[in-house]
């Protein structure tokens, strides 16, 4: 197992280098002189020259990349042009908010998706199933950020159940912090809930048709036990892969959700940095989120074997 994890990590290296290369090339897609674009039209020639030098833009491309990659490996994501602080420090302050938001959204999605998907599969082709299908198709069609705006309007502004401005971190005051997170997490997680629920339903349908399930029933096990203990565990393996892929939707969606709810997370920081043309921060945030996504999918792959022991770790 340990050998397999190591092997997977080694296979990950070329992908990570390519991911880094794409993010590196982003800044070189800026039309014209990046340094001049960053500083805006009022910059003097000396300022432009100093930013060019600070960003290493005066050196050949491959050299810039090697230096940049070397710095990354040492945890140096560059320095913000605006605040002059190391980008990684700002990421470290803001990422917990994003992690909190996406984790809560994931928990919400699973709480909705697992039981409803199983129920729909058990009651296949009944009214319950049709209702489920309507619900999930709406779930993947309603834009989460709009739902967020509507929720803010109804539950925060009109009813006053949740705060509409400000922020309290959950790790400082858990219950108070949770009040700030509930609406964002639910509206962010809804899309994922719908996608995962559909996956649970279709993999449950496949599993419920298999002989071992009939056998379990024939043994006299209650339907509850057959479904939860025998069928669900097998049906969960393909669902897990969907969860891994959909986590990307959460990380990407968090950028918009944090903007809607004014949460001080990585997504909001990214958007604000784009407006300020703080490209090192933009690069750093995008790269960091991509790394998190890659790692989560690797963990999902490793967990896969637990739910589907046919997977060989070799």
Q: Which residues bind another protein (CB under 8 A)?
A: 14-15, 18-19, 21-23, 26-27, 29-31, 137-138, 140-143, 145-147, 149-150, 152-153, 157, 202, 206, 248-249, 251-253, 255-256, 259-260, 270-271, 274-275, 279, 282, 286, 289-290, 293-294
The residue (of 50 and 262) whose beta carbon lies closer to another protein is 262
The residue (of 162 and 293) whose beta carbon lies closer to another protein is 293
Tokens of 183: 């609406």
Say what angle helices 2-28 and 61-73 make with each other, to 10 degrees.
Answer: 140
| Smallest distance, another protein to C-beta of residue 16, A | 8
| Smallest distance, another protein to C-beta of residue 222, A | 28
Q: How far is it, in rounded angstroms, from Cα 67 to Cα 86? A: 16
The residue (of 126 and 222) whose beta carbon lies closer to another protein is 126
Q: How far is it, in rounded angstroms, from Cα 103 to Cα 171? A: 14
The partner residues of 79 in beta bridges, in order of sequence, read 86
| Smallest distance, another protein to C-beta of residue 273, A | 8
| Smallest distance, another protein to C-beta of residue 220, A | 30
The residue (of 163 and 177) whose beta carbon lies closer to another protein is 163
The residue (of 83 and 178) whose beta carbon lies closer to another protein is 83
What residues contact 80, with CB distance under 8 A and at least 6 apart?
A: 86, 87, 90, 273, 278, 280, 281
């Amino acid at each position: 197992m340990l050998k397999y994890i190591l092997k997977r990590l080694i296979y990950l290296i070329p992908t990570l280098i390519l991911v880094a290369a794409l993010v590196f090339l982003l800044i070189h897609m800026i039309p014209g002189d990046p340094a001049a674009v960053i500083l805006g039209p009022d910059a003097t020639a000396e300022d432009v020259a100093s930013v060019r030098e600070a960003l290493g833009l005066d050196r050949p491309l491959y050299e810039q990349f090697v230096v940049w990659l070397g710095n990354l490996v040492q945890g140096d994501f560059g320095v913000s042009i605006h605040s002059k602080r190391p980008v990684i420090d700002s990421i470290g302050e803001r990422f917990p908010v994003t992690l909190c938001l996406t984790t809560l959204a994931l928990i919400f999605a699973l709480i909705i998706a697992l039981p409803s998907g199983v129920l729909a599969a058990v009651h296949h082709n009944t009214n319950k199933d049709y209702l489920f299908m309507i619900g999930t198709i709406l779930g993947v069609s309603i834009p989460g950020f709009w739902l967020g705006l509507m929720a803010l309007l109804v539950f925060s502004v009109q009813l006053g159940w949740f705060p509409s401005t400000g922020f309290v971190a959950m790790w400082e005051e858990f219950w108070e912090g949770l009040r700030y997170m509930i609406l964002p997490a639910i509206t962010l997680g809804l899309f994922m809930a719908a996608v995962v629920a559909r996956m649970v339903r279709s993999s449950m349908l496949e599993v419920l048709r298999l002989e071992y399930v009939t056998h379990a029933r024939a043994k006299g096990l209650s339907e509850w036990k057959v479904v939860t203990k025998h069928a669900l565990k097998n049906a969960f393996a393909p669902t897990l892969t969907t969860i891994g892929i959909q986590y990307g939707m959460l990380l990407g969606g968090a950028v918009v959700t944090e903007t809607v709810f004014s949460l001080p997370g990585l997504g909001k920081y990214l958007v604000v940095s784009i407006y300020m043309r703080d490209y090192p921060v933009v690069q750093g945030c995008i790269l960091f989120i991509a790394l998190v996504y890659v790692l989560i999918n690797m963990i999902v792959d490793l967990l896969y074997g637990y739910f589907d022991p046919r997977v060989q770790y070799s």
